[in-house]
Amino acid sequence: MFRNQYDTDVTTWSPAGRLFQVEYAMEAVKQGAAAVGLRSASHIVLATVNKAASDLSSYQKKVFKIDDHIGVAIAGLTADGRVLSRYLRNECINHAFVYESPLPVSRLVVRLADKAQVCTQRSWKRPYGVGLLVAGLDETGAHLYYNCPSGNYFEYQAFAIGSRSQAAKTFLERKFEFFNNYSRDELIIDAIFAIKETLQGEKLTSAICTVAVVGKDEAFHLIDQKIIQELIDAMEIKEDVPADQAPVPDDDGSSGAAPMDI
């Protein structure tokens, strides 16, 4: 993208009917570190790449708890992500205080979309340069939404945003039809696999990966880094084992291996 006479503010339309400031904000999402979301009938998993600005700095937090039943993962400008996360927390707190019940996920997503859309019609504001994957569970079930800087929002079974997210999308598109029947542990493993796809050859470790989960009878929380590293090590061992030496499935279709406590 390049600077031109039609991108001085967000209310200036180009002759082709484009708002360049909004497109710049959406490009900021594409340049951010990758974030992945998957949902089943009872659980939602978020995973992100922890990308440091330099070898001398630590990474910035990309997964935020909004309420016990809602969490978000961001890609793009982290500062904008923190501002919107604080806004979402306030909305959940106010709703719980007035109605004494959790805020439905769909209603929270609409409020977030409205807030983002206002920034596309005010010349003294700029669009938020961050995309949010909103994961939540309410009375209607598990939900995963993507909120775009343009003010649009979409619900997905699985989705990926950020840098090199297309590789993760390709992986998710091959398997998303089965996610609805997945267990919690299977969702977490596939989320790590999807994050690994975005690294394109770079070694995956728990130090550069954050995974969070929310589900029935389970509040939103981050999974311990030691457990993530154990899963990554187990995945690498499985990939190195030749097909003729793989575990023989039992009669019920399982491999006979004991499930890991995640």
Q: What is the mean pLDDT of each run of 10 residues along the chain (262 residues)?
A: 77 92 95 96 96 85 97 96 98 97 97 96 92 96 97 97 95 93 94 93 90 96 95 84 52 48 57
Q: pLDDT at position 9, please?
A: 87
Domain membership of residue 262 (yes or no) is no
pLDDT of amino acid 244: 54
- Whether residue 249 is contained in a domain is answered as no
Residue 215, domain CATH? 3.60.20.10
**CA 120, CA 10: separation in Å to the nearest integer?**
6
Is residue 252 in some structural domain? Answer: no
Contact predicate 25/132, CB 8 Å: no
- Residue 60 CB partners (closer than 8 Å, separation 6+): 78
2 inside domain: no
Q: What is the pTM of this model?
A: 0.88
Residue 251 falls inside a structural domain: no
| Cα separation, 211 vs 151, whole angstroms | 26
What does the pLDDT read at residue 253?
A: 44
Q: Is 208 exposed, middle or buried (0-12, 13-18, 19+ CB in 10 A)?
A: middle
In a domain, 14, yes or no: no
User: Is position 158 within any domain?
Assistant: yes
The domain in which residue 105 lies consists of 26-52+61-236
Domain count for the chain: 1
The predicted structure's pLDDT at residue 237: 84
